[in-house]
Structure 1
Amino acid sequence: MNATVNEEITLFPESVVDADTIASPLIKRYSLIAAGVGLIPLPLVDAVLVGGVQVKMVYDLAKAFDIPFEESRVKALVGSLVGGIAPTGIAGGVATLARAIPVVGVAAWYFVGPALAFASTYAVGKVFSEHFQTGGTLLTFDADKIRVHYKREFEAALKSKKSDNAQAEVDKAAPTDATNISGNAKK
């Protein structure tokens, strides 16, 4: 008796990929784009543009995790998350008001705006990515329940961005191979 098997056995499905391998580069790329948009010193214009960057990032994350995307729902969810934390932060509120002061306010915004845009976008990416990784969809995303996690990610990203900026200043001030400690060029 001969039996034939018409079923293909797959030992390593192509879809098995580390989720962070997919999500992390997307989150970082869109966070950096948002930081660039955060340089725009026009109130509301920058917020609208950063919101657009965040919605596009969630679209790409949803696509990567094969989650159906509904733009109006994502806009509402992102707005609920970001609106629940970003404006209430003292630094964000003061910086937003400070933009109204000619010259000084705009100059101050160039330091604060990109960091806030980066941190907000990073936090949005992290919470949506983790939600999608655990089998969640846009329909099961509860912004009220996730807001605490968003706030934690936002604060961590803000601290990270500040430490990155501080490290860049240290690196810029540190002597290079071409200079000695006194700052004189080596011969």
Structure 2
Amino acid sequence: MYLAAAKCKSRREKADGIIKSNVIQAVMMGLIPLPVLDVVALTNIQFKMMDDLVKLYGIRYTKIERSIVKSFLLGMLPVATVTGLSSVLKLMPGIGSFTGSASVSVSAGGLTYATGRVFAHHFEGGGTLDDFNLEEAKRRFRQELRRGREVARELSSRKQLPSPADGRTD
């Protein structure tokens, strides 16, 4: 029993490391000065994070399961639109570029954190992508997004961001 609990804790810690690493990447990605490229990069970061999480939890991840993840990410599109709009601010010279980069960094980090926590929580409870409940996940996503923005703000306010490898625990 103790060994099983230790294994879960270790896996949970690894999931936290995966999420943190990807949040750091998302925050750094927000600093890309080119609009829209940052949103494309964010999508890639989130899919990479999902690849890492499903491997960690031993979850089947075929084309069908990928479509479930896509549905969730697309369902969060209204929230992600803020990131896209902030990205467009980068087109404005000077203050627009600075404001856009800062806003995109925090939004992208928050989105990545919330997405990772939603799936990690589901997998920790023994869930798979076959029994993933989109409505429940959306509720949890909104809760996690608040915390994710705080985490991203904290990370982006540091003088020097840690390297993504610093968040890894494996």
> TM-score by structure 1 length?
0.70
Q: Distance in 2 between matches of 1:50 and 1:11?
A: 38
**What letter corresponds to residue 121 of structure 2 in structure 1?**
E
Number of residues of Structure 1 aligned to a counterpart in Structure 2: 156
Q: CA deviation at 1:110?
A: 2.2
After superposition, the Cα gap between the structure-2 partners of 1:11 and 1:44, relative to the gap in structure 1 and judged at 3 Å, is: closer
Aligned to 2:144: 153
Q: Distance in 1 between matches of 2:45 and 2:94?
A: 27
- Stretch of structure 1 that moved more, 96-105 or 61-70: 96-105
Aligned to 2:162: none
**Secondary structure in 2 aligned to 1:16?**
helix
Aligned to 2:123: 132
Q: Which one has a larger percent helix, Structure 1 or Structure 2?
A: 2
Q: Distance in 2 between matches of 1:68 and 1:42?
A: 36
Check if 1:112 corresponds to 2:103: yes
**Secondary structure in 1 aligned to 2:93?**
coil
1:46 to 27, 30, 38: 38
Q: Distance in 1 between matches of 2:142 and 2:50?
A: 17
Q: Distance in 1 between matches of 2:85 and 2:20?
A: 26
Q: Distance in 2 between matches of 1:106 and 1:136?
A: 42
Aligned to 1:73: 67
After superposition, the Cα gap between the structure-2 partners of 1:164 and 1:16, relative to the gap in structure 1 and judged at 3 Å, is: closer
Q: Distance in 1 between matches of 2:80 and 2:123?
A: 23
Q: Distance in 2 between matches of 1:24 and 1:160?
A: 12
After superposition, the Cα gap between the structure-2 partners of 1:136 and 1:108, relative to the gap in structure 1 and judged at 3 Å, is: same
Residues 118-176 of structure 1, C-alpha deviations (whole Å, 9 max, x = no match): 1111111000000111111112223333112111111112123335556x48xxxxxxx
Q: Distance in 1 between matches of 2:156 and 2:28?
A: 14
Aligned to 1:181: none
**Secondary structure in 1 aligned to 2:7?**
coil
Q: CA deviation at 1:93?
A: 6.6
Q: Is the 8 A contact 1:41 1:110 kept in 2?
A: yes
Gaps of 5+ in 2: 160-170
Larger CA Rg, structure 1 vs 2: 1
Aligned to 2:20: 28
Gaps of 5+ in 1: 1-9, 170-187
Q: Is the 8 A contact 1:27 1:57 kept in 2?
A: yes
Query: Larger relative contact order (C-alpha < 8 A, sep ≥ 6)?
Result: 2
Q: Distance in 2 between matches of 1:22 and 1:163?
A: 21
